[in-house]
Amino acid sequence: MSNGVAGAVLCAAAAVLLSVVAWRQAAVVRRDGVHTRGVVVDNTQVADDDGHIWVPVVAFCDQQAHRVEFSPRMRGTGIGVATGREVPVVYQSRHPQTARARMWRHMTGPVVFLLSGAVVFPGVGVLIVLTK
């Protein structure tokens, strides 16, 4: 197998993997998710490639009445939530520490990024084949 074909196969495999992970991200929380309300208790400053950004810390009580705190995975300008604001939360019943803010930008952001990568990899694979 030539280097070009091997590179294209690896890119195709990466695209499939990213697509599967994106589907799982979208489906697992919808299927097994417990819906509740949380409150933004703090905003912490974290270092990013673009400098420092503020990340909300959301607290809620799970089904066993344990307090759980988490920070949304999506970060960046325009993603923050004000301290004291009540937000909808969804989490897997067996893993409340994997909670997510049930807001459009926080739920769809990771899926969109994964699917974008799944689209880019086949294009890179085609470029590899065409340039070899």
Domain region containing 109:
3-131
Instruction: Provide the domain count of the chain.
Output: 1
Specify the pTM: 0.59
> pLDDT digit string (tens) for 77-88?
555 677 888 988
The side-by-side arrangement of strands in the sheet containing 33-48 is 67-70, 51-61, 33-48, 86-92, 95-101
Can you give the length of the chain in residues?
A: 132
Q: What pLDDT, on the 0 to 100 scale, is given for residue 67?
A: 95
> pLDDT digit string (tens) for 92-110?
888 888 777 766 555 556 6
